[in-house]
Amino acid sequence: MSKSIDSIDDNKKVRKSRADLRTALTQGKGKLFVDPREKEEGYTYRWVNIGEGNEQRKENLGYEPVLRSGGNSVRRFIGTSREAVLMRIESDRYEEIQEIKQEECDELDVSLTGAGSNSGLIGGKHQQD
């Protein structure tokens, strides 16, 4: 049984509209998105999975949940059974944390390889002379 040209065109329109909706929801990145117009300057924003103490760990670092005008936190479902909350931290504090993390990684590199992250390693392997 063959489909009519009209039904094929209608199916293409439905698929295209769904694809457009997916792109709009994820901004084409496959990630949760924060509208830049809703961000406050001087803060770094992150989506944090709810559960397993994730929110508390972030709060201990200085993050705070982003609140809607009614006082509820901004949340999004990810997948079918998980939820994430939008949190933010002052950008200066975020940079401090990143520097500390990098120092820890550099120390680990030295302890594992005897070399720092910038001393002769290419693609995770030592350069051969």
One-letter amino acid identity for 1? Answer: M
Name 67's Cβ contacts closer than 8 Å, sequence gap at least 6. 73, 74
13 token code pair: 């329109």
- HEC string of the chain equals CCCCHHHHHHHHHHHHHHHHHHHHHHCCCCCCCCCHHHCCCCEEEEEEECCCCHHHHHHHHCCEECECCCCCECEEEECCCEEEEEEEEEHHHHHHHHHHHHHHHHHHHHHHHCCCCCCCEECCEECCC
d(CA 65, CA 126): 43
Instruction: Please state the φ and ψ torsions of residue 104, each to the nearest 5 degrees.
Output: -65, -40
pLDDT of residue 28: 46
Structure tokens belonging to residue 21 = 């909706």
pTM, entire model: 0.61
Q: pLDDT by residue (tens digit) across 50-60?
A: 999 999 999 99
Q: Which residues contact 105 (CB under 8 A, 6 or more apart)?
A: 117
Predicted local confidence at residue 35, as pLDDT: 85
In tens, the pLDDT along 72-123 reads 999 999 887 899 999 999 999 999 999 999 999 999 988 888 765 555 555 5
